[in-house]
Structure 1
Amino acid sequence: MKSYRRSLSAWLPLAIFFTLVPALPCFAGGKKVAPPKPANQYPAFDSHPEEHVSVAIDPCTEPKNCDFFRLPYIRHSMIPVRVIITNDSDSTLDLSQVRMQFIARDGEKYPAANLDDLNRRLFSTKQAVGRKVPIIPIPIPIRHSPIDKKITQDDDDFGFKTTTVTAHSTIGGYLFYDIKDLDDPPLKGAEIYVKMIHTAGGKELFAFSIPFDKWLASQKSGKSGAGASR
């Protein structure tokens, strides 16, 4: 199984990440997407009462529940997970170093896909050429395919706008995780692990662990889940 150890800050400008317009709905492909609710109103969340911060997840496993996306990410084994952060403290939070990892039930860690990852999965038919040719004493450069317009449009609608969460506010947006090589069901026993959130003063918050099993249990009991925020 593949292993990733990529810093979020390295790909943050390209990540499909947070929607930071809490007061207004977003529109993508003509679909209305409601702003996120406070994190503790979702079935799967983790709260730190002493730090006054909560983080929730709301995955989408059925295309019909998140058909506001322009492309069928789920059909290509890229699972959308809406991550919601509620900051009930009096201090701004800094996300510039944050890590948000998908931890599978076997303990393997995966970062969120960036735009290049999504583009390769949905559109690439050949592997990029990057190896050396014996006759030529220089490497052949990798030529990256341009990002498909629909991916960049989704990024514009749901993309990360800032690395701060102001006091007494909630933000939320979608991360995409590659579940192609995971055993079915891929979310069972897995979790989203969030670490390296800092206060404006530089203090690091304790890590958040949000099990997908909480969300799965809510689906069985008929509570709101993926796509319910529309």
Structure 2
Amino acid sequence: MALLNLSSSLAFRLSLLALLLPACTDYAAGGEKKAPPVKPASQYDTFDAHPKENVTIAAEPCDDPKDCSFFRLPYIQHGFLPIRVVITNDGDRAVSLDDARMQFISANRDVIPAATDDDINRKLFLMKSVKGTKIPLPAPLPPITIHHPSVDKKILEDNNDFGFQGTVVNAHSTLAGYLFYDVQALNDPALKGAEFYVKMVHSLDGKQNFFSFTIPFDKWLAAQDKKEASKPAPAK
């Protein structure tokens, strides 16, 4: 009987350890990770231009893992929508994003902020994100305490390589970066009827507050359909 209890305890511990291992594997293995070159915001399928303020903002989503395979982890498969936000400043004064709010607005008017590194880490590595939770084990083993982990290295590397590298858009320049939005709870496709909303952008000197930017994703979906329809039919 004692041997049976020990075997059960060992099996339980091994099962638990298996669950606690990271649920994600390398998504883009080997080689240097490169995103497509950044273009001026007005050259993307979906953008909002403010001619009087000399600022244009584009939002380029990636809803197909093949189109952003440079990421190290499978964000799309875990319910995140990567969106490349591109800000072009054609004016003579620098623009500040320090106070900017960049939100995904669903067709049902759900307001979804950009996910933080911690948000992404919790969702991709769910079993590692339980802070201070004690899991009882069969006696005589003590409970295991799971501590909140640091953000996974691959998330930090993706942020460093593909996220915003600053909050200032200098005069006559373009700044871009990927943000991630948790759209798993939305109806599929999440982009249908949705829009990208940017507010609280102002000049670096604080003398000019810009109007909000609204970018409808239905326009982006229509552009993708048009590109697909223009592809030559496969040879028979």
State the TM bucket, normalised to the shorter chain.
Answer: 0.7 to 0.9
Q: Please tell me whether the aligned partners of residues 191 and 209 of structure 1 are also in contact (alpha carbons under 8 angstroms).
A: yes
Closer, same or farther: CA 142–205 of 1 in aligned 2, 3 Å: farther
* Structure 2: distance between partners of 1:217 and 1:115: 31
Q: Please tell me whether the aligned partners of residues 129 and 147 of structure 2 are also in contact (alpha carbons under 8 angstroms).
A: no
Aligned position for 1:216: 221
* Structure 2: distance between partners of 1:171 and 1:204: 18
Aligned position for 1:149: 153
Give 1 or 2 for the bigger CA radius of gyration: 2
Closer, same or farther: CA 69–127 of 1 in aligned 2, 3 Å: closer
Give a deviation string over 1:135-176, Cα, whole Å, max 9, x none: xxxxxx994221111111111212332221000001111000
Q: Please tell me whether the aligned partners of residues 131 and 148 of structure 2 are also in contact (alpha carbons under 8 angstroms).
A: no
Poorly superposed stretches of 4+, deviation over 6 Å:
none
From the two aligned structures, give the one with the greater helix fraction.
2
* Structure 2: distance between partners of 1:38 and 1:129: 43
Identity percentage over the alignment? 55
**5+ residue gaps in structure 2?**
1-29, 134-144, 229-236
Aligned position for 1:11: none
CA RMSD of aligned residues (A): 2.0
Closer, same or farther: CA 192–129 of 1 in aligned 2, 3 Å: same
Amino acid corresponding to residue 73 of structure 1 in structure 2:
Y
Closer, same or farther: CA 29–154 of 1 in aligned 2, 3 Å: farther
* Structure 2: distance between partners of 1:142 and 1:101: 33
* Structure 1: distance between partners of 2:130 and 2:43: 44
Which of 185, 210, 213 in structure 2 is aligned with 1:205? 210
- Give the structure-2-normalised TM-score: 0.75
* Structure 1: distance between partners of 2:178 and 2:36: 13
Closer, same or farther: CA 49–142 of 1 in aligned 2, 3 Å: farther
Q: Please tell me whether the aligned partners of residues 83 and 173 of structure 1 are also in contact (alpha carbons under 8 angstroms).
A: yes
* Structure 2: distance between partners of 1:38 and 1:64: 23
1:30 deviation in Å?
A: 1.7
Give a deviation string over 1:105-144, Cα, whole Å, max 9, x none: 111101001111111111112663479xxxxxxxxx9942
Q: Please tell me whether the aligned partners of residues 29 and 70 of structure 1 are also in contact (alpha carbons under 8 angstroms).
A: no
Amino acid corresponding to residue 148 of structure 2 in structure 1:
H
Closer, same or farther: CA 115–29 of 1 in aligned 2, 3 Å: farther
Which of 54, 75, 81 in structure 1 is aligned with 2:56? 54
**5+ residue gaps in structure 1?**
1-27, 132-140, 224-230
1:206 deviation in Å?
A: 0.3
Greater CA deviation, 42-51 or 119-128? 119-128
Q: Please tell me whether the aligned partners of residues 129 and 148 of structure 2 are also in contact (alpha carbons under 8 angstroms).
A: no
